[in-house]
Amino acid sequence: MNQPPSKSSIPELLDWAHKVLGYRFRDPDLLLQALTHASFVGEGPRAHNERLEFLGDSVLNAAVSHRLFLLFPQESEGSLTRRRVAVVCNENLAKVGREIGLISRMRVGKSLEMQLSEGKETVLSDAFEALVGAVFLDGGFESAEEVVERLLFSREIPKYSNAKGFLQEMVVKRFGVLPVYRRTAVPEGFKSTVEIKGQSFGEGIGRSKKDADQRAAQEALRRLGEDE
């Protein structure tokens, strides 16, 4: 269960950042600013993180592009672009933000505390970008790239931000029909089977119908040779 936001002390925030980012801030104010949402400004004197988010978005895209370029030397521009979109999309950044405990370190106004505790994706992904921007200002691009690699490339690198959408586009072009999803309830949530012209091409289990469909689509793409 997600923990509600709390106002940790500066030493606690610095220790947390060093542990999860692998980076030690020289300027604590940059870290505090990155973790401060605009809704909190009315409750204290510190600047919020929107400018750092703006900067971090560009740094993040550059760092991810560089890493993908090196990791996948045989892939086309289109394939690399799809991977980058999948890595830097709000859903993925928010997921990583939850995993590193970002929720309980952020400073938000009372009006947003409940939404943040429920894992509101845009707030978390914006804060993630702000953190990258803060590291860039504090230690330069190389430090920011190391943080990005540590947090985003230590796991399986997604190839699509929306496997279901990509599968539909591909199936329409190749087969002239739409894929059909059949879902059933299972103890884990839902099981989805994707069919093309009546033939099963992939199955997936997820906590929601959306998750199950995405997993089924990913399996179908692998079977169709589109996820190599």
Give the confidence band of 7 by pLDDT, cuts at 50, 70, 90.
low
Give the confidence band of 118 by pLDDT, cuts at 50, 70, 90.
low
Q: What is the pLDDT of residues 83-109, one digit of tens each?
A: 898 899 888 899 899 999 998 898 888
CB 56 within 8 A of CB 151: no
- 207 within domain boundaries: yes
pLDDT at 204: 92
- 193 within domain boundaries: yes
CB 90 within 8 A of CB 121: yes
Q: Is 50 exceeded by the pLDDT of residue 152?
A: yes
- 3 within domain boundaries: no
Q: How many domains does the chain have?
A: 2
- Token pair listed for 95: 């997921």
pLDDT at 45: 47
Q: How many CB atoms lie within 10 A of CB 177?
A: 12
Residues 98 and 31 reside in one and the same domain: yes
> Whole-prediction pTM value?
0.73
Instruction: Tell which of 121, 152, 183 closes a domain.
Output: 152
Between 80 and 5, residue with greater pLDDT: 80
Q: Is 50 exceeded by the pLDDT of residue 3?
A: no
Give the confidence band of 122 by pLDDT, cuts at 50, 70, 90.
confident
Residues 79 and 27 reside in one and the same domain: yes
Instruction: Tell which of 126, 152, 178 closes a domain.
Output: 152
> Which residues form the domain of 24?
10-152
What does DSSP assign to residue 190? E
Residues 43 and 147 reside in one and the same domain: yes
Residues 71 and 176 reside in one and the same domain: no
At 176, which CATH number? 3.30.160.20
Among 113-122, 149-158, 197-206, top mean pLDDT goes to 197-206
At 68, which CATH number? 1.10.1520.10
Catalytic annotation, residues: 57, 129
